[in-house]
Structure 1
Amino acid sequence: MFLVQVTRRNISNSVPVASSFGRWYRDFWQPAPANEPPYDHVTQIGDPVLRKKADPVPPEMAKSPEVQYLIKSMVNVMRKFSCVGLAAPQIGISLRILVMEFKEKLKDEYTSAEYKIKEMETLPLTVFINPELKVLNYEKKTFPEACQSVRGYSGEVARYSEVLLRGVDENGSEKELALKGWNARIAQHEMDHLDGIVYTDLMKRNTFTCTCWQAVNEKRGRVSIFFHKKMIN
């Protein structure tokens, strides 16, 4: 079927079959459906979903197909954007679910000194539904922190050194996990998202930095920040 694309009232040079006529006709006046969550991108600061306290998942729904689909979507987006953690509101769903993963290969992205001072270590894929956080060590350490929901920026944030997460895993089983160092930071960052808090609320304000400021200068301002996999161009 050939359509001459002039306006939404285009006329076809052939008549659609009856079974599809209704759908064909509606296409002329109904707007295309908007993208709906769960998204395959990360929501950005300003989106109201990031400022709402997320709702708990009903216990009987933990193993439901809907929750399992959401968890799978979260893991896919986390890995797509090379994140180490993601909360459900970051893909548009205001439910208390978080995922974390710190792969061994990330060690190659840091100097040995940085890896050591930040107390980084491998964390296998970890899922928590309705997590609760308990502080185990109230000593705080400050490091630059970034977030895919504030893409292209970072700021220094103080976090507790050791925490305990309790909740339910993706199989509906009760789970608890003690974390320290950088993994404790990841857990606190994602827990904040579940409470409508973004790291910019907690950071030392004069450390707020555009992570590509050097590229901006080198390329005379001809730099774009993308909100998909690619970071800058």
Structure 2
Amino acid sequence: MSASSPAGSGPGSPRPPGPFTPLDFQLVLLRRMADHNPDLVEDARHALGTSIADMREANRRWQAMLHARKGRAAVSRYRSVLGAPEATIPRKIGDLQCEALLWPVPLWPDLRFEVLLGPNAAVWNEWLIRAPGAPGPELRTLADLTPWSCTVDEAARAFAPARPMEGTAPTRWRLAFTAPEAGPGGEPGERRRCVAEFTWGLLQRLSFPEG
């Protein structure tokens, strides 16, 4: 990725209009994450060589595609923007045979964007997961749950049993679980209830309910 701004992209104006690209899609992911982690998003945006205006314009165009009356079906939209999937993996959920389509995301080389298709080819889920074969993070205590450190599945496995909760907005998920705080030497200490909030499947922040 180039750290320099694309031609015609200044700090206050978006890039010249053109096809919606994988770069634009990464900006859509970042736009939702900016609500919780603006500093991380700003660093990522600079790494992509894009402006705030680029991010806003990419999100505007994406929303227009989502709400277009004669827009593409969800999976066709992803194929048109991201190209052919890097991998297509069969998945079994209960008694149902499903299919997961995976695309690379240059911002997060160890992650993949997954679109899960049901038996009728309807999109059931769209989020970031760990790339097959990539080592996941070691999650032992609350101190390990830093922004962007893990995916929904990784947190749920590390701190089972985790209870899924309704997200606060589209593309957001929440998990409630109990996890140990880090002791003086980093070892697990006293356990504490928390709620982990995710955007596009990637951890954004923790909150701690009272009581």
- TM-score interval (norm. to shorter): under 0.3
Bigger Cα Rg: 1
TM-score w.r.t. length of structure 2:
0.26
TM-score in terms of structure 1 length: 0.24
Higher relative contact order (CA 8 A, sep 6+): 1
